[in-house]
Amino acid sequence: MVTIPYRGLIIGLTVLGALPAHAQTQAERLAQMMSKNYSMQSLQALMLGDSEAALEFALRAFPLDPTDQEAAALLDAMFALELASGSRVARIEAEGSGLYSVDPTGTRAFVGFYDPRPEVNSAYVPPSIYDPRDGALIKVLEPISASTWPERSPVFSPDGGLLAYPTMPVVSVQLFNAADGSFAGEMTPSDVSEYISPVPLGFSGDGRQYAYGYLDNSGGILVWNVADQTLVSHLKPNAAGNADWFPLGWDHEDGFAVQKLVRDPETGGRKSAGLERWHQDGKQELIAELDGVIDAASLRSFTFPDVPVVFMTDEVRLAAVDLESGEVRFTTEVSDPEIALVRNGTAFAIRPFDIESLDDFQVIDLHGNRLQPTGRDLIPLAQAAVSQNGMIAGVPKNATRHTYQGQDLPQGAALYDQVWAGISDEIKRSINQDRVMRP
């Protein structure tokens, strides 16, 4: 059975609020303490998959009708409100486990996994498309008759119009319309190929192409045009010899980042590691030696459109390597991370597998400088499906290249006003009875 591990959304909490610049009155201290408490309850509710409760607690952390100045001063409350507003934690009817991904519009999500063995498949949520905002089932996907790679979620196109479901071991990529879950076609190689070690690389930056890497037979990459579903490239190593090639992801110019591992011809052990760029015209170039950076095969890798950086990981560290110069931009200690591009492409949000506090969550700019996290930064990493009994039903795996980032959410007090306007009068009355009071 494929094991899809549990990932809590947030485990442990820290206080992010800054100390006030003036001496506080007793009423101000009480209001700030209450705001922090409600903010923590909001994060705890989100961790348990209760998005509605998370929003209500976040609203309670503000005084009624906060001004821009008040909203800016309540850092914990704004962190909680941004995260509760933008997170896509779908509470669904189906029971079981599976993979998860959210489209760039935040209105569609994939949940599920398929195993061709009936006695095993019953443990998984059927592959389906949901609305992550309310957990409504859009459609169970048909036909699904093969497994996808358990280490990478099926992902949506950059415009959110299509879901791509790559299969293994027989290679194909099934396409589904995200709006209604209807079948939209299938991309296959020109010959029947089986790869037991696939590496689905997802859509290109403009969504016109889809790539499917594999590790078998020294490694290679299949590339299709999405519009007519034709195979346009089958890239293989130009060099022969004692080496293996590991596709990592799209680069920033519609080519690919590929890790090369050279074996010692006498011992068969690993001799050296390098980073190559493969272009679709057949050109392949070594841009960096990775010895001392990532010596083994990268366990997880991430690339993002228009950003010349590839992230590579081993068991304890993460390295960001420049795809033009080959230089290491920065390294950080982190285990089994998920990474998202945030702040309009100027920073990366990094989330380790296990989080004990929000201090474990990092935001780093393109030059390696660590930044103060905001709730908005965590939105693309706060995604999951939760069953009605509170169990995790879907976890994202390497699904942040094209995903929802909360880009449509207003800032500051305007976000509070938007959320407040969208709830019922009954809930408003309940919140007003138990909320932070203006000092």
Q: Tell me, what's the pLDDT at 242?
A: 83
How buried is 69 (Cβ within 10 angstroms: 0-12 exposed, 13-18 middle, 19+ buried)? Answer: exposed
| pLDDT 10s digits, 244-297 | 999 999 999 999 999 998 887 777 666 788 999 999 999 999 999 988 887 677
Is 438 a residue whose pLDDT tops 80?
Answer: yes
The amino acid that residue 256 corresponds to is F
Is 370 a residue whose pLDDT tops 90?
Answer: yes
Q: Tell me, what's the pLDDT at 22?
A: 52
Secondary structure (DSSP) of 115-180: -SSHHHHTTBPPSEEEETTTTEEEEE-SS--SB--TTS--EE-TTS-EEEEEEBTBTEEEEEETTT
Q: What is the DSSP letter of 380?
A: G
How many residues would you count in the chain?
A: 439
* Nearest alpha carbon to residue 43 among 94, 73, 80: 80
Query: At the fourth CATH level, which superfamily is domain 87-408?
Result: YVTN repeat-like/Quinoprotein amine dehydrogenase (2.130.10.10)
Name the pLDDT band for 240 (thresholds 50, 70, 90). confident
Name the pLDDT band for 84 (thresholds 50, 70, 90). very high
Q: Tell me, what's the pLDDT at 10?
A: 43
| 219 Cβ contact list (under 8 Å, min separation 6) | 213, 236, 237, 244, 245, 246, 247, 258
| pLDDT 10s digits, 197-231 | 899 999 999 999 999 999 988 899 999 999 999 99
Tell me which residue has tokens 């760029």.
277
Name the pLDDT band for 415 (thresholds 50, 70, 90). very high
For 208, 300, 353, the CA distances from 3, given in Å and listed in that order, are 32, 17, 15
Q: Tell me, what's the pLDDT at 181?
A: 98
Is 20 a residue whose pLDDT tops 50?
Answer: no
- Taking the CB of residue 422, how many other CB atoms lie within 10 A of it? 10
Residues 363 and 350: beta-carbon distance below 8 Å: yes
Q: Tell me, what's the pLDDT at 23?
A: 55
The amino acid that residue 304 corresponds to is F
Which pTM value belongs to this model? 0.91
| pLDDT 10s digits, 386-395 | 998 889 999 9
Domain range annotation of the chain: 1-86+409-439, 87-408
| pLDDT 10s digits, 25-62 | 887 888 889 999 999 999 999 988 899 999 999 999 99
Residues 245 and 238: beta-carbon distance below 8 Å: no
Tell me which residue has tokens 């474990």.
360
Q: What is the mean pLDDT of residues 85-100?
A: 96
